[in-house]
């Protein structure tokens, strides 16, 4: 029987891509996030396990096989400014070690978001790294929306920062 370390992918030889790919399927979320940080040089923004497994599988193969073809890289260079910034960062030759950028949809730090829900006014203070609601810190607007309503909500929609897609303007 294989050691637990080998199954998790920690002891996989760099050339054994198939073994590393199989190990991704057995990793926990914590291990996947750690592996993502190791391979991409930044923490993942997603908390979706299948998505992280796919991104990591791509990166393992990319590192083993040499990345995108010259044709694909030429097309990316040709498109230049038309590409979203996040695509350019994803295909940069060296992983970024800087902190992930702040979500551009968020209002500036120091702003106060207000929402009236079921006749009660709810105020949220926006900080650089968190939100303050009811004297407590929250990492996301969605967590506050859930606290207010008791059900899962998209925080941007709940506080009116982002319109529902397909909604009439």
Helix (H) or strand (E) holding 72: helix 70-79
CA-CA distances (angstroms) from residue 125 to 77, 140, 151?
41, 12, 21
pTM score, two decimals? Answer: 0.41
Whether residues 8 and 86 fall in one domain:
yes
What pLDDT is recorded for position 99? 59
- Asked if residue 95 is part of any domain, the answer here is no
Q: Which residues contact 162 (CB under 8 A, 6 or more apart)?
A: 105, 154, 156
DSSP state of 100: P
What pLDDT is recorded for position 168? 52
With a cut of 50, which residues of the chain have pLDDT below it? 1-12, 169
- Asked if residue 97 is part of any domain, the answer here is no
What pLDDT is recorded for position 164? 66
Q: Are strands 120-126 and 131-133 parallel, antiparallel or unpaired?
A: antiparallel
What pLDDT is recorded for position 12? 43
- Asked if residue 96 is part of any domain, the answer here is no
- Asked if residue 19 is part of any domain, the answer here is yes
Whether residues 107 and 80 fall in one domain:
no
What pLDDT is recorded for position 69? 80
């Amino acid at each position: 029987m294989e050691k637990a370390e080998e199954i998790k992918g920690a002891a996989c030889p760099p050339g054994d891509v198939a073994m590393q790919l199989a190990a991704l399927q057995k990793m926990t979320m914590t291990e996947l996030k750690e592996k993502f940080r190791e391979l991409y040089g930044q923490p993942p923004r997603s908390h979706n396990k299948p998505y992280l497994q796919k991104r990591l599988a791509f990166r393992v193969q990319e590192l083993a096989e040499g990345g995108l073809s010259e044709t694909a890289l030429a097309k990316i260079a040709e498109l230049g400014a038309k590409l979203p910034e996040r695509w350019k960062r994803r295909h940069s030759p060296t992983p970024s070690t800087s902190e992930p950028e702040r979500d551009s949809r968020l209002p500036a730090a120091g702003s106060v978001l207000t929402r009236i829900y079921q006749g009660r006014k709810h105020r949220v203070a926006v900080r650089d790294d968190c939100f303050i609601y009811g004297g407590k810190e929250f990492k996301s607007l969605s967590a506050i929306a859930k606290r207010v309503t008791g059900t899962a909500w998209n925080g941007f929609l709940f506080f009116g920062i982002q319109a529902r897609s397909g909604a009439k303007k």
